[in-house]
Structure 1
């Protein structure tokens, strides 16, 4: 349930009336979407009556992101602000002085109940000024500001309304109808009346909508409760009088006078003019997926405070999920499918039973059972009565839960984290309820984060933690899922051996050797000269084994001479308020993550592994990383807290070391015994690099690559150097085209300094090889 009174009080705290006279232009309007007066009145207090729609002109003066139309005689602008021409002011500060004074007058009149005085104010538009009046009226006005809606409600209650009936008279009449009822409860009644009247008088349309390419704006739509489309350079769509005028503007914007822009102009026109409040919007992703459904809640507006996709309507999203469609979705951004009854019926059927889904918060006590250790897919029962035979607290929740409902799994003290997502597998049978764990959270969400989020302050669990099974509202669930998905994304791009060989320039048989070596040994070090792609290859090797680009299953760190056990495993660290606390290190945390998901592979990547003191960093865990000492049966007690700990069998370690670094001593035996070593060599002869070279089609590039390959032969033969000093291919990668300047810079500033270090005692050799390379591009 929306707490409208709390929103009202929050606004009063943010902009008390006494502060209005000192409000600055930046406080009034800015492009930061959280803190301006305008943003508060239009968006943050949206549930106190909507003034959504139209353009930013209604604010009198506003900061813009895109320059307003210079042909619009209503507006004057400078390089940052636009304001009403009717103010007859040359500067933004002068114009804002009028706006600020007007707002203060409205607030004063509202507080005194002087509605006729507000009626006479014409410096601001009606809806905007009446919402300001409500916000400073001490709840003596109705939070409805548009005349047509006020007329509709007044007529419903029996008022004889004419064109001359003033908004002040409509407000007074409706306040009389409220009687002794709470204002916001009465407002809820008014909204229901309007919805019923609208439903009986209008046949709503059904729209199929794409929120950006591959649904790229869907998260924004959900978080802001909006739908939005692009073509921002068009500006406010209400300034166009026809689809033809829109198409002409699109031709001008994109420099394509011969293109019809038929579909684009149709989408824009329909979004601004034909879509109506109450229409149904079904959201698509790609050709075969539906991801949501909602109801249009506002008129169109051009919101310049968004960085892109500024054409916006407010939405109430009723269904969020993923559903596969039988046929292919149309490719357009917006399509009216109202007259396609078979398609509409098929799509609406996807949401059957989904609209009745409920959301729950289940608390597990780690002393009794662990939500995090319960295997995914396992069905768990939960008794409706405690050990004393008494009903569990909020017993009705257990009765109301139905099969298919979503459950957020929370572990109580000492864990105090959301650790899993589950679903009700079977409704209560009188003695037990049954749920199935469907996902382990690799990155749990802390209670400390949840308790401080305003939108979750009304959670049953937060109000009274006594109990185990609590109801969540849809809004609460959406906020929690946004937190969860921030660290636990649902889908990752697929990644295969073929993609690896396209990205990483090594030969196919070498890839298979490396992959099999890592899986068998569990610990591998990639060694080679700078530029052979060790770091680049390590991540992609992990992705190729996982099968997708899942960053949650990879941890990347770099060793250095000061890296310690306290950083890596655990140790005491100073606190901000003084003293010390025991903190767990990156390897400890990653091992725990892998332990909680034993069926999946995890990869710990260490760059510059030979720069750290392995015995000092790993401590007692140096033995546990060995293949034969993995798993719980080999657990040992940690030095700092006597906790039993083991390195899981599904964790793989990939190290990287630079063989051309003369400053490092030989790698110690302890490290060498526990790792296999794989030589990374320049990939100039790999199929992937040859394909890359062929696509560039540059003679100078080809000559330089041939010379580098010949130079590598020289380096390999040099007794003071060897294969570990050969020049890698990565210096020449990731280019779509090549020119002589770029090639010269690579040779002069990347290759030459390396050759200088190689032949530091042979200036003639250094100069000879460098000049030879530079001569190839002259």
Structure 2
């Protein structure tokens, strides 16, 4: 690791402190000290009987260890601020034993094979775990402050021999030890995060599956910075981003190479075009089996090959995510390395029709080789898990080596953004409409930013530098090419076009003429007639359109652009130039299109956005499949809320965070409680019989006219899930499926990966 990385970590930490995104050191240390007082090894050792298991393993006990480690978040101890590292996600089984909220029983085992314990059995198990936890703490306590990597390897071996029930691999145990010994144990409580942090620091993990060995390597970095462990961890999270996966993508088959097309058009792809668009399989209950059957029919594969190739296809379609790293390879040769910047697309006229857009980080003049070059070479899509190859990929991405510099190629737009582009080209203004949470504002911003980037820089928005993005979006001192306003009942002509506004000068109120946002953007567009300007009007239907647009409602029409009118306040001549485009959004739950101003309707194009259930494929909460459950919920809304019900459906955006589905149980619970239920209560005007028809009788207490909020009061969500599924129990799936599962089909040896369509 060079000093440059250390300096970048320090700079990032300084900015986080300036922006008040890190706990002040005094508060951070106070949290460590309070935790140690409550849950020190000595304190745990003194406990026995039901007090022991209630203190350590009862997640519902807000004064207990497991609750503090995962959920405690107040001025006393802010675990949810990520100051001490996160262990969120998964189920309560990760604590080895827990008290089930539904019946107060002590449970151990796993979701597939739970075991109910008597109190005596729970106490006996609790003692074993407690004794091991204390013994492990004593080992770490003896570790010197300047311990070497060899010392940490030895510690890992000692903990493996001392701890029981695989505790040396459990995140909550690692977090417990970190809080006790923050100068010896790091605050990344999973090997995935540890590996990511190390390789981003150009350090190869010594043992990439050992929490405490990698703690030693991370502590060496932390000590070089001179900063608290918590500060370094949070700075790394910001600096390096979340962990990513690494995939090898084949670029040829049967002697043909499609690398030049992939390189020139900035994508990676796989074959089997005859399957058609893979989204057509989204409704399938057994997607792998269905694709395998099609492969046998279309390509003549036997059962084994069809199953294996179906796994590769699904991996490309479902497992690769935006931000992941792809290695374009032909046999053992690495031709280029890129970052995924787009979701799956089916492009029929490409040689490899199943595609993902990428930003090429490296294009090599001469092919290079990975340490284990033959790994996955006979597969179309293969996930690298071997640390030697992953470390070399990161090195190649960052090192100055002989490479070809290529400009990003502007690929045709697709999907909703392409549809918006088409309507703007025809009418110059469009309204995106649909139920709440269907991504209307998201698509408005995404589309306008993309259009401006292509117009100004001839590049996709995602490939722009921060300075280029700032030119498009503007900042506190400069207006950008994409601007935004939000209509509301009190928004008027004077805000949008021009008006008399008060201002205080020398303690005196004076009135002066001010230009509104639309007049300003039109002026800027006239001064820069070779550039395109975009105005996003959020919630356009909430304003009084006739009053806001006034006489300009005529001038925005395509055939009337460039015609002049005299403005009433300034007496200035004004026109709407051709290079101004308007994108509005409207929530149809507030007001249907039919109620919009007729003059406005005629001058705008309209694009409907509805809930997109495909975003949640594979997202499951304790047996509740999010996609199917949301679809069923919307179906009941449509059945119960009359002719306007289609406009009242629940959109997918409620369950997205940073454009990705939420997978955390607590977040899911909060969204249901704080967003979904209040929205449905509003739709039903307090009619609890109607609310019960939609949400289910297990959530709604019709007799007492209330929601059963006690279902939300415990960390365990199994009772809540059962209640949510009560109107549609048939969609429940096996609890063995979790959001942490990653399909691992990469263990096929090369000997049985023949008959590949690509290599």
Q: What is the TM-score of this pair, normalised by structure 2?
A: 0.35
Higher relative contact order (CA 8 A, sep 6+): 2
TM-score of the pair, normalised by structure 1: 0.34
